Amino acid sequence: MTDTGHNEMSWAGWGDPSRAAPLPEAIARLLSDGLGVSGATHVPASISDLRLVPTRLASETSDEIAAVIGEAHISGAHEQRARHALGRSTIDLLRLRSGEPLAAPDLVVFPGSHEEILALLELCSRRRVAVVPFGGGTSVVGGLTPEVGAFAGSVALDLRRLSGLVAFDAESRLATLGPGLRGPEAEALVNERGYTIGHFPQSFEYATLGGFAAARSSGQASAGYGRFDELVQRLRVATPAGTLALGRAPKSAAGPDLRQLILGSEGAFGVITELSVAVRPVPAERIYEGWLMRDFDHGIAAVARLAQDGPAPTVLRLSDEAETAIGLARPDRLGQSDGEGCLAIVGWEGSTEDVLSRHEGTTRLLRAAGAAPVAGAGDQWARGRFDAPYLRDSLLDAGALVETLETATFWSSVRGLYAAVTAALRDSLTEQGTPPVILCHVSHTYRSGASLYFTVVCAQLPEPIAQWRRAKAAASDAILRAGGSISHHHGVGIDHRAGLGNEIGDLGVGVLAAIKRTLDPAGILNPGVLIEG
């Protein structure tokens, strides 16, 4: 009997199917009248209707895997294969709707220990079987669709059974946890001891700690708590070449920090089997507010000032005029124009004294910048902060093409990057006969720069995957020309692999390839993800 663990995410879209909501009337009107969207897309009636490619794994190899993992913890059933076939990018969901056979893994395995994973990797290296580490299944860059054609088969390595609190060091404020814990599960375990991890990305409810680390996740409160890769202090990693135990101290001069090889490696170098993260006391006070800026340019100047000179908020986000007007930053106003201006969401978490002090200083700066408070906007954002992917599903179901992309750069280049990516997306999609609505917000801030997060909506063409790939390629070229990074927190996967090569150059790719050859000589781990081969 297969171990399935926690509640499954919707097989046809995002999250909890009961939370899917119909489109607001104003958004439906915009789709039909403004963008020419007509006709709903076909969604398979049930998971059993999905077509999967036939399995290729030899029966004797399956038997060997069962001997390592245990018969009760492996599955070749249609439903398990289908649930582990795709991530949650728009391209993934369009593939699901296409009716074409999905390249699902031949077998899904649920190991229960580091030692089992080591043994599995040795076996799969010997048998030339590709291994795809699987956490929450939330990748939006093709991180779960590796190139496995050259292998004798593929297995999805689901880490949900590695999901406990291994150790808690209150003096060092470190929690050692299993990588298969979802965000809420991990947060609950440390909350019981009076602490918080403070990592709340939009995927928080379904993504796992191992996935956060492997993709360099950045949460909505990263301005205060830091990115997840900054929180990770120790790692235990199973690789085909053996075990890596990394992180003897918070900082070290003992050569390059090898933790950085694993953080962001997306399962291509090894499988994280245990990690220690820094925690902080559960905040006594949380305040979230909305502030209306005159325009995006003035808003950028204000949030840069806060990020650089303080007092730094815990949450700091800024929507452009289009996103503010649509209401995407404020779910209670979805599809309703608030007039001109740009909405900033500002939040403070911590001790009461600290929060009140920072709130006072931030308010003084925002008022000096000409911003005005928007009653209730901050609390409404906090209540709906994890809901946007459900809207994406509803838009796709209605026949729209909707996708997101993100990038980052230094403050001196933010405005130029914003203009370049917006123009590239608009020009590409308009040339294809589907003029888009393009929304953007500053999603994460640092002393030296910030990230930009774009949402694009337009009508679907008969070949929507090709339509989006063309627009995404234009945007990626614009990002690199304007001095941005190909990804700030979504990762590389398959989709950004060419962009990564352009960003770090042939020599940089060669360094990554040499690491891959050392840790994974047979190349079985997530082949084609991050780098070719």
Say which CATH number the domain at 334 has.
3.30.70.3450
Q: Do residues 379 and 393 share a domain?
A: no
Q: Do residues 299 and 332 share a domain?
A: yes
CA dihedral 166→187→447→359, nearest 10 degrees, is -140
Q: List b or e across 252-284, with b for residues whose CB sees 16 or more CB atoms inside 10 angstroms.
A: eeeeeebbebbbbbbbbbbbbbbbbbbbbebbe
Where among 227, 257, 281 does a domain terminate?
Answer: 281
How many domains, in total, are found in the chain? 3
Q: What is the pLDDT along the chain (533 residues), one digit of tens a residue?
A: 454 456 789 999 999 988 887 888 888 888 998 999 987 788 888 999 999 999 999 999 999 999 999 999 999 999 999 999 999 999 999 999 999 999 999 999 999 999 999 999 999 999 999 999 999 999 999 999 999 999 999 999 999 999 999 999 999 999 999 999 999 999 999 999 999 999 999 999 999 999 999 999 999 999 999 999 999 999 999 999 999 999 999 999 999 999 999 999 999 999 999 999 999 999 999 999 999 999 999 999 999 999 999 899 999 999 999 999 988 666 666 655 556 799 999 999 999 999 999 999 999 999 999 999 999 999 999 999 999 899 999 999 999 999 999 999 999 999 999 999 999 999 999 999 999 999 999 999 999 999 999 999 999 999 999 999 999 999 999 999 999 999 999 999 999 999 999 999 999 999 999 999 999 999 999 999 999 97
pTM of the model: 0.95
Q: Do residues 350 and 417 share a domain?
A: no
pLDDT at 60: 97
Q: Do residues 316 and 260 share a domain?
A: no
Q: Do residues 191 and 221 share a domain?
A: yes
Q: Do residues 329 and 270 share a domain?
A: no
Where among 363, 383, 403 does a domain terminate?
Answer: 383
Structural domain range at position 260: 165-281
Residue 405 lies in a domain: yes
Q: Do residues 422 and 361 share a domain?
A: no
Residue 9 lies in a domain: no
Residue 106 lies in a domain: no
Residue 340 lies in a domain: yes
Q: Do residues 259 and 183 share a domain?
A: yes
- For residue 441, the Cα-to-chain-centroid distance in whole angstroms is 16
What is the C-alpha to C-alpha distance for residues 244 and 515, in angstroms, rounded to an integer?
A: 13
With contact defined as beta carbons under 8 Å apart, do 505 and 255 qualify?
no
Provide the 10 A C-beta neighbour count for residue 114. 17
C-alpha to C-alpha distances, 235 to 108, 173, 194, 213, nearest whole angstrom: 24, 16, 23, 10
What is the C-alpha to C-alpha distance for residues 444 and 439, in angstroms, rounded to an integer?
A: 16
With contact defined as beta carbons under 8 Å apart, do 88 and 389 qualify?
yes
Residue identified by tokens 């060091």 is 169
pLDDT at 27: 87
pLDDT at 4: 47
Q: Do residues 203 and 297 share a domain?
A: no
pLDDT at 352: 96
Residue 99 lies in a domain: no
State the distance between the two ends of the chain, measured CA to CA, in whole angstroms: 35
Residue 341 lies in a domain: yes
Q: Do residues 275 and 202 share a domain?
A: yes
* 150 secondary structure, DSSP code: T
Q: Is 93 exposed, middle or buried (0-12, 13-18, 19+ CB in 10 A)?
A: buried
Residue identified by tokens 């939009």 is 202
With contact defined as beta carbons under 8 Å apart, do 401 and 464 qualify?
yes
pLDDT at 21: 79
* CATH number for 220: 3.30.465.10
For residue 45, give both structure tokens: 């009636």
Where among 261, 281, 301 does a domain terminate?
Answer: 281
What is the helix (H) or strand (E) element at residue 454, kind and residue range? strand 449-459
Q: Do residues 268 and 289 share a domain?
A: no
Provide the 10 A C-beta neighbour count for residue 348. 26
With contact defined as beta carbons under 8 Å apart, do 314 and 302 qualify?
no
Residue 511 lies in a domain: no
Rg (CA), the chain: 23
Examine residue 311 and say whether the peptide bond preceding it is cis (omega within 30 degrees of 0). yes
Q: Do residues 199 and 250 share a domain?
A: yes
Residue 349 lies in a domain: yes
What is the C-alpha to C-alpha distance for residues 106 and 141, in angstroms, rounded to an integer?
A: 22
